[in-house]
A and B are shown apart, each in its own frame.
Chain A
Amino acid sequence: MATLQETASQIRRDIVRMVHGAQSGHPGGSLGCTDYFTALYFKIMHHNPSNFQMDGNGEDLFFLSNGHISPVFYSALARSGYFDVAELATFRKLDSRLQGHPTTHEHLPGIRVASGSLGQGLSVAIGAALAKKYNNDNSLVYCLMGDGELDEGQCWEAILSAPHQNADNIIATVDWNGQQIDGSTDKVLYLGNLEEKFKVFGWETIVLEKGNDMDEVVATLEKAKSLTGKGKPIVILMKTAMGAGIDFMEGTHEWHGIAPNDDQLAKALAQLPETLGDY
């Protein structure tokens, strides 16, 4: 049984290999959120990878709102058993179920809504959370958003809506890496005091300072779970480094959406132990 850290290392290998293989995709945010995905899919969530059901009754659900970090999503799904890891090699290629951005259209197990056009995931998560309440289903709904994504107005509709709708079975997470395509989030569109903003909108707000420290990520998600069902939706503001785990990609928006060449791939893989076997 691999440790979470070992699993995260393999997922990071998958990410750079997938993006290299397609010569397209988004490694930066994927690497930054690898520890979160690993904790979620291999420790935190109650889910049933071997028998995927769209309705997800009785299971925890996850929605990826910032769909461009599909590489980490696909790897986490495959490595946790939703589909064969060999299929990761088809990422972004013709006739693949692993489209550039996640979709239900190709019936890839583990995906419950398409995302990519930003700002829509939290609204879907609220609806799914309400459905769970209608169904007397006590399991939880997770949603990951990007910080740049919070530029979108619909996010703030959803942030206003969730407390009003009593969606206290949602644990949203913001990948707070401070970067978006055109530069830092401060420069592109200043987000201000995110923590205070979520609080005044009525959210139980947790700041995770070390979003690339597995122990911290797990502990914070556990804490968030303990806060569900108490009348407020929960948000984790998760500080991560874009490109985390690969020294030359880390902390810069330059690797938001470009693929490594052969040399860069080799350098990246040299930093990441192959723990579960490459696809």
Chain B
Amino acid sequence: MALEDIVILNEKETRAGFGEGIYELAKTNENVVVLTADLAGSFKLGPFIKEFNNRFVQCGIQEANMIGMAAGLTIGGKIPYTTTFANFSTGRVYDQIRQSVAYSDKNVKICASHAGLTLGEDGATHQILEDIGLMKMLPGMTVINPCDFNQTKAATKAIADIHGPVYLRFGRPKWPNFTKEDGSDFVIGKAQVLAEGTDVTLIACGHMVWKSVEAAKELAKEGISAEVINMHTIKPLDTEAVIKSLTKTGAVVTAEEHNIIGGLGDAIAQVAARNIPVPQEYIGTNDTFGESGKPEQLLKKYGLDTPNIVAAAKKAISRKK
């Protein structure tokens, strides 16, 4: 695939991809049950609730109890999907997930919207930037941060087919939607190489994938060939794809809507350090909380925009020996 082949189909919220995905999944998988902690609207659950009301559990604002109930539902063979904002899906209920879900190997799908800075005006109380780290540290947890609407929809359906706990992270704002409509380009645990390149590798997850595509297009104008990898699955990480790309390009930029401590960048650095040490630059928040603002304003202020990725790529390239 080449950069020029990547085109925006439309702009949609990734969370709406969840809403559509769960509705379609429920039609074919009768074990799917959806729980929410008073956020059905935010997850676009209207169609699901209308048609599958008997498989919808309104928990009220009880995130801890919701996680526990989800663990219990798996014992009867159900596949529970829990829905609340990323902050309340992880930090608020870390111990419940740790003991009742992860340590207990329960087939719970923890689905988290409004992740990262781009939830915007609600500010730092709701903008969790530590959730990928929290979840990826749990043994047995699969962590997925799809890049757009189509991919969130595909991931929502795909996670029903793997046994074990999953953390599925997505966001609030409308965002460029560019992956395949049928989701056939999404495979859990398999890195998606969006564009091949030779000078630097851009590895991103979630909303930052599109920013990386934009950055690669900018770099191309300057004659710099960037490989763009959508690392939607942060755990288990596709280490083979990372090693292959870094061996080719010799430099990497990681981009995530997350603290650079404990996120995707750290995961890539670990692979690099063990296998193919190369210069790495990090795009992400740096040991800070967020604040209120428009999504694009926040991404710019915290250095998570296209110009910063371009600059980081040049810096990484300049550090090659």
Contact = CB atoms under 8 A, between A and B. Distances in A.
Contacts of B75: 54-56, 61, 112-113, 124, 127-128, 131
Task: Classify the interface of chain B: helix, strand, loop or mixed.
Answer: helix
B96 A55 contact: no
B96 A114 contact: no
A178 B98 CA distance: 29
B157 to A, nearest CB: 20
Nearest to B30: A134
A135 B76 contact: yes
A157 B77 CA distance: 24
Contact of B104 (A105, A125, A134): A105
Contact of B76 (A55, A114, A154, A157): A55
Interface residues of B, number: 31
Contacts of A257: none
B99 to A, nearest CB: 5
A130 interface: yes
A120 B198 CA distance: 51
* Interface size bracket, A side: 35 or more
A160 interface: yes
Interface string B55-87: 101011010111111111111111010000000
A273 interface: no
B33 interface: yes
Contact of A127 (B70, B98, B99, B105): B70
Nearest to B69: A127
Interface in B17-71: 33, 55, 57, 59-60, 62, 64-71
B99 A115 contact: yes
Nearest to A56: B75
A157 B96 CA distance: 13
B104 A123 contact: no
B100 interface: yes
Contacts of B232: none
Contact of A160 (B57, B62, B78): B62
B95 interface: yes
A63 B75 CA distance: 11
Contacts of A56: 75-76
B100 A103 contact: no
Interface in A82-112: 103-105, 112
Given A157-B62, A161-B65, A131 B73 contact: yes
A55 B77 contact: yes
A132 interface: yes
20 contacts: A55-B76, A57-B76, A104-B105, A114-B100, A115-B99, A119-B64, A120-B96, A120-B100, A122-B68, A124-B69, A124-B75, A124-B100, A127-B74, A128-B72, A128-B73, A130-B72, A131-B75, A132-B76, A154-B64, A160-B62
Given A113-B100, A165-B69, 5 more contacts: A105-B105, A116-B99, A130-B76, A131-B73, A134-B76
